């Protein structure tokens, strides 16, 4: 009878398609303290979660899981395995037994291999341990900020990511649902979910060069256990300023956990970033954690976190007025390695040029009630509920999000499929006007225009309508600099003062290579006053007056910050090296040879091409025409106007060796070493990435409130794609959409 009643209870709990949660708290038997980041997973199912800082967990389960086993594992503890049915329907307390080696045991085991021996085997076994096949992660992302000891900002995103395998760390992000609470609006310019995924140092081998044994200074720290497995703990020492700690499985030499720490405050080298003219953000501490888990003899991502600890400093009063920490976490709920399917294009997130807040969905109460998330700590709940019930705040904030339209296309493949994709995309995001051009092996195969260059007069955009290309101008400037290097007129490693005598000497030497790689320490825009300027400049050398007297943010090549003003200075360097104005050099050496007849630098005192597009900003659901702008202060960083067709000519010229030697172009494809030999994804005026097949590609984008641009070059495929739009808000074109275009073309 007792068994019958239990069976009835389980059947009611998992009736049909119903679903529920296993939940509880995990505590150390020795310390009696809750354990953070314990892996809680269903054995052999790729389904799991983690505990929060209070040791609490909840795991979403269905009727199909009722006879499964849940495993609780943590480095340094005995693993526990418990049947799902014995945990269902109650608040569980799980006690984990610490497993600690004696000092004598550690000494004996450590003598088997040196730290360098272990790291060499990590490298040798890398391809065997980590899958190079596509996979899908059903996951969620949480970012939460604490200001002056109180939580005031929360974003959660339920998502699917589509990964390509080890060393192909680019992942397509499919947004499933989202919710947020924002007591004090916090402005930033990037998709922080994407930047979190890119801090997967285990998959992204550019993060630290494991094979640099001498400089990394590997040290054997400890041996701990995870269940019946021994785990080597190896540190890199300080390389060069950051400490890396690796947790390595003794059986197969796989890195299963990696921690990176940089104690800026401890080493008295705060990372500085300007907020405005009298206020600085000072980064004091930075930590990244990567956790991988084994599934069918291969390791896959399970958890990524990024912690920033910083303050805000008033340079006038020389005082700190805010202390903050910001935690971003990516947690995997389920791993899928078979029949992963394709992302829904209407839900794909833009990773570049559009922050998460611009892509939020309306709040779905029922969805979040049944979705697998790690519980909030009591402190987070108490602080966020100071402005009302969490549910009410989620509903209120979600009401501000625009409901996305469905993205459908019945065309099977080829050019018609691409046109269909673009038409859907254009209408989905209500873009006033846009252009797309695609070239393959030197031939223009697609050139399309959609919408209105002028909404008021209903003037249609054509393929010859010029659009501002924003920061793609930087890539043009980079090619100008490399041409001068080829001619022996510019040494990338000589001080910029050799070419621009009016630029003051700084505390540290700045070179053109620093400018090309965004490692110069020169600041970016501070505010709208920096971005919108009315003064007419006649040369880039004249325009450096805006920032030339400012202090550097950091010692060149010790850090990185995207900087338009750095490329403005590079424009002045080009003028000094070539002995001609920047626009004259650009026209003579790139635009004219490649017959880019619709491309020019905008000027107030010269004739523009009459049919240039107008530009629009989204405001409260309406498209508002932007007032005329003067871009003469930033021709070399964001002041060029062109067409998508002209930009494909630029890409073709690079691939065919028409404006640069092929060996010089190859330098763009090799990510530059920065941060004392750590890699960067920005190389000599281009972003370097991999395509959907893991092959190297180059791209650059540009985004302003009223216009946006994208240029992508795939050397191995001979493909160039250019996209331009006359609004910068709600345009989500990026590499993922370009991948869809390439797939459609491949099937024609």
Q: Which of these, 324, 317, 316, lies nearest to 277 by C-alpha position? A: 316
Q: Is the peptide bond before 240 cis (omega within 30 degrees of 0)?
A: yes
Mean pLDDT for 510-523 is: 93
Q: What is the dihedral of CA 419, 423, 425, 429, to 10 degrees?
A: 160
Confidence bin at 9 (pLDDT 50/70/90): very low
pLDDT value of position 492: 96
In contact, 54 and 25? CB cutoff 8 Å: yes
Structure tokens at 141: 């992302």
Give the helix/strand (H/E) hosting 472: helix 472-486
Q: Rounded to whole angstroms, how far apart are CA atoms 76 and 104? A: 17
Looking at residue 344, its pLDDT comes to: 81
Quote the DSSP letter at residue 589: I
pLDDT in tens, 168-201: 666 788 999 999 998 876 656 678 888 898 889 8
647 has pLDDT over 90: yes
Among candidates 575, 44, 18, 639, which has minimal Cα distance to 334? 44
- Over pLDDT 90: what percentage of the chain? 57
Confidence of residue 444 (pLDDT cuts 50, 70, 90): very high
**Where is average pLDDT lowest: 12-21, 215-224, 232-241?**
12-21
| pLDDT, tens digit, 9 for 90 and up, residues 119-165 | 999 999 999 999 888 899 999 999 999 999 999 999 999 999 988 77
Q: What is the pLDDT of residues 668-695, one digit of tens each?
A: 987 665 554 455 678 899 988 878 777 8
Question: Among residues 390, 384, 468, which one has the least CA distance to residue 642?
Answer: 468
Separation of alpha carbons 386 and 395, rounded Å? 16
Strand, coil or helix: 688: strand
Helix (H, G, I), strand (E, B) or coil at 19: strand
pLDDT at 353: 59
Interatomic CA distance for residues 303 and 25, integer angstroms: 19
Q: How far is CA 347 from CA 172, 307, 406, in A?
A: 10, 27, 9
Both tokens assigned to 556: 């060149």
CA distance 105 to 222: 10
d(CA 386, CA 587): 59
Least confident of 46-60, 105-119, 239-253, 377-391: 105-119
Q: In the chain, where does the domain assigned CATH 2.60.40.1120 lie?
A: 2-96
Give me the pLDDT at residue 264, please: 87
Give CA–CA dist 54/87, Å, rounded: 19
What tokens were used for 389? 């019930």
Under a CB-based contact definition with an 8 Å cutoff, are residues 36 and 69 in contact? Answer: no
Which residues are paired to 20 by β-bridges?
61
Q: Which of 46, 49, 45, 71 is nearest to 331 (CA)?
A: 49
> Which of 15-19, 50-54, 131-135, 541-545 shows the lowest mean pLDDT across its residues?
15-19
Is residue 33 within 8 A of residue 41, CB to CB? The reply is no
> Does residue 646 carry a pLDDT above 80?
yes
- State residue 16's pLDDT score: 38
Residue 628 zone, left/alpha/beta (φ > 0; ψ -120 to 50; rest):
beta
Q: Are 530 and 638 in contact (CB under 8 A)?
A: no
Supply φ then ψ for residue 634, to 5 degrees: -140, 40
> Comparing 46-50, 254-258, 564-568, which segment has the lowest mean pLDDT?
46-50
Query: What are the φ and ψ backbone dihedral angles of 653, each rounded to 5 degrees?
Result: -60, -35
Q: Is 609 exposed, middle or buried (0-12, 13-18, 19+ CB in 10 A)?
A: middle
Bigger pLDDT: 622 vs 266: 266
What's the distance, CA 693 to chain centroid?
Answer: 19
- Residues 393 and 411: their CA atoms lie apart, in Å, by 42
Q: 269 with 280: CB under 8 angstroms?
A: no
Distance CA 530, CA 19 (A): 53
* Topology at the third CATH level for domain 438-746: Beta-lactamase (3.40.710)
User: Residue 10 has what pLDDT?
Assistant: 38
Once rounded to an integer, what is the mean pLDDT over residues 204-224?
A: 79
Return phi, psi of residue 62, to 5°: -125, 180
pLDDT value of residue 532:
84
Give the pLDDT score at 288.
94
Q: DSSP labels for 125-186?
A: THHHHB--S-EEEEEEEEEEEEETTEEEEEEEEEEEEEE--TT---EEEEEEEEEEEESS--
Residue 32: count of CB within 10 angstroms of its CB: 8
| pLDDT band of 40, cuts 50, 70, 90 | very high
Query: Rounded to whole angstroms, how far apart are CA atoms 187 and 310?
Result: 16
pLDDT at 643 over 60: yes
CATH 3.40.710.10-classified regions of the chain: 438-746
Element (DSSP H or E) covering residue 654: helix 644-655
Find the mean pLDDT for residues 497-525.
94
Contact in structure between 340 and 297 (CB atoms under 8 Å): no
Is 90 exceeded by the pLDDT of residue 361? no
Kindly report, residue by residue over 380-437, the tens digit of the pLDDT: 999 999 999 999 999 998 887 766 666 677 766 688 888 888 888 888 778 899 999 9
Instruction: Look over the chain and give the mean of its residue pLDDT values, rounded to a whole number.
Output: 87
- 32 CB-near residues (< 8 Å, 6+ apart): none
d(CA 212, CA 19): 49
pLDDT of the residue at 17: 40
- What pLDDT is attached to residue 741? 86
Instruction: Judge whether residue 109 has pLDDT over 80.
Output: no
CA distance 19 to 360: 26
Angle formed at CA 477 by CA 471 and CA 483, multiple of 5 degrees: 155
Short-list 234, 309, 314, CA closest to 266: 309
Q: What is the pLDDT of residue 346?
A: 76
Q: Are 283 and 273 in contact (CB under 8 A)?
A: yes
CATH 2.60.40.1120 correct for 2-96:
yes
pLDDT score at 108: 55
pLDDT-derived band at 4, boundaries 50, 70, 90: very low
pLDDT at 18 over 50: no
DSSP class of residue 741?
H
Q: What is the DSSP string of 639-688?
A: -EEE-HHHHHHHHHHHHTTSSS-HHHHHHHTSPPEETTTEE-SEETTEEE
Q: For residues 616 and 726, is the Cβ–Cβ distance under 8 A?
A: yes
Q: Are 683 and 672 in contact (CB under 8 A)?
A: yes
738: left (phi over 0), alpha (psi -120 to 50) or beta: alpha
List the alpha helices (DSSP H) in 43-152: 84-87, 103-110, 115-124, 126-129
CB-based contact 254:535 (threshold 8 Å)? no
Structure tokens at 63: 């009727």
Statement: residue 551 has pLDDT above 80? yes
């Amino acid at each position: 009878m007792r068994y019958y009643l239990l069976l009835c209870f389980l059947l009611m709990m998992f009736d049909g398609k119903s679903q529920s949660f296993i939940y509880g708290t995990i505590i150390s038997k020795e310390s009696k303290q809750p354990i953070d980041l314990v892996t809680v997973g269903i054995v052999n199912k790729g389904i799991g979660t983690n505990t929060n800082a209070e040791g609490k967990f909840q795991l979403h389960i269905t009727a199909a899981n009722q006879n499964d086993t849940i495993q609780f594992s943590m480095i340094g503890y005995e693993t526990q395995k418990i049947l799902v049915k014995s945990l269902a329907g109650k608040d569980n307390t799980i006690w984990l037994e610490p497993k600690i080696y004696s000092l004598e045991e550690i000494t004996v085991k450590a003598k088997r291999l040196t730290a360098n021996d272990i790291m060499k085997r990590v490298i040798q076994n890398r391809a065997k341990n980590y899958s190079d096949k596509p996979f899908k992660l059903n996951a969620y992302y949480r970012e939460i900020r604490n200001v002056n000891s109180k939580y005031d900002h929360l974003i959660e995103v339920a998502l699917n990511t589509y990964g390509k395998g080890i060393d192909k760390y680019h992942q397509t992000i499919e947004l499933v649902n989202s919710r947020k609470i924002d007591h004090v609006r916090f402005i930033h310019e990037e998709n922080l979910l994407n930047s979190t995924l890119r801090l997967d140092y285990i998959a992204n081998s550019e993060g630290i060069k494991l094979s640099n044994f001498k400089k990394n200074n590997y040290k054997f720290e400890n041996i701990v256990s995870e269940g019946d497995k021994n785990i080597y703990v190896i540190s890199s020492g300080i390389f060069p300023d950051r400490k890396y700690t690796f947790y390595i499985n003794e059986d197969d030499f796989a890195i299963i956990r990696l921690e990176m720490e940089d104690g800026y405050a401890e080493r008295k080298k705060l990372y500085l970033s300007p907020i405005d003219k009298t206020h600085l953000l000072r980064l004091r501490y930075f930590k990244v954690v990567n956790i991988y888990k084994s599934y069918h003899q291969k390791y896959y991502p399970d958890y990524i976190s990024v912690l920033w600890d910083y303050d805000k400093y008033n340079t006038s009063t020389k005082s700190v007025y805010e202390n903050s920490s910001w935690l971003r976490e990516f947690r995997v709920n389920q791993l899928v390695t078979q029949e992963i399917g394709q992302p829904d294009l209407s839900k794909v997130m833009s990773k570049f040029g559009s922050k998460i807040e611009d892509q939020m969905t309306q709040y779905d109460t029922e969805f979040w009630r049944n979705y697998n998330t790690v519980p909030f700590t009591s402190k987070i709940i108490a602080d966020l509920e100071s402005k009302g019930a969490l549910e009410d705040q989620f509903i209120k904030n979600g009401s501000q999000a625009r409901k996305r339209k469905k993205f459908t296309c019945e065309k099977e493949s080829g050019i018609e499929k691409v046109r269909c994709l673009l038409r859907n995309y254009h209408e989905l995001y209500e873009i006033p006007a846009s252009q797309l051009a695609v070239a393959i092996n030197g031939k223009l195969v697609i050139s399309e225009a959609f919408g209105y260059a002028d909404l008021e007069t209903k003037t249609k955009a054509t393929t010859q309508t010029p659009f501002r290309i924003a920061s793609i101008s930087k890539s043009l400037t980079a090619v100008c600099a490399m041409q001068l290097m080829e001619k022996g007129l510019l040494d990338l490693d000589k001080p910029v003062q050799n070419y621009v005598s009016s630029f003051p000497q700084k505390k540290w030497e700045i070179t053109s290579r620093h400018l090309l790689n965004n490692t110069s320490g020169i600041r970016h825009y501070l505010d709208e006053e920096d971005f919108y300027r009315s003064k007419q400049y006649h040369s880039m050398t004249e325009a450096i007056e805006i920032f030339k007297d400012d202090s550097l943010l950091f010692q060149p090549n010790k850090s990185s910050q995207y900087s338009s003003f750095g490329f403005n200075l590079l424009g002045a360097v080009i003028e000094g090296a070539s002995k001609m104005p920047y626009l004259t050099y650009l026209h003579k050496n790139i635009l004219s040879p490649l017959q880019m007849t619709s491309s020019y630098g905008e000027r107030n005192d010269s004739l523009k091409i009459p049919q240039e597009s107008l530009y629009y900003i989204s405001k409260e659901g309406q498209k508002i025409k932007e007032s005329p702008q003067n871009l003469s202060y930033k021709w070399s960083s964001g002041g060029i106007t062109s067409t998508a067709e002209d930009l494909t000519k630029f890409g073709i010229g690079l691939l065919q060796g028409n404006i640069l030697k092929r060996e010089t172009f190859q330098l763009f494809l090799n990510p530059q070493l920065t941060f004392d030999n750590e890699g960067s994804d920005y190389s000599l005026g281009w972003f370097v990435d991999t395509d959907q097949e893991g092959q190297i590609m180059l791209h650059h984008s540009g985004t302003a409130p009223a216009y946006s641009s994208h240029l992508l070059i795939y050397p191995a495929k001979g493909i160039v794609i250019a996209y331009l739009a006359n609004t910068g808000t709600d345009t989500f074109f990026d590499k993922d959409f370009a991948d869809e275009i390439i797939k459609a073309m491949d099937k024609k």
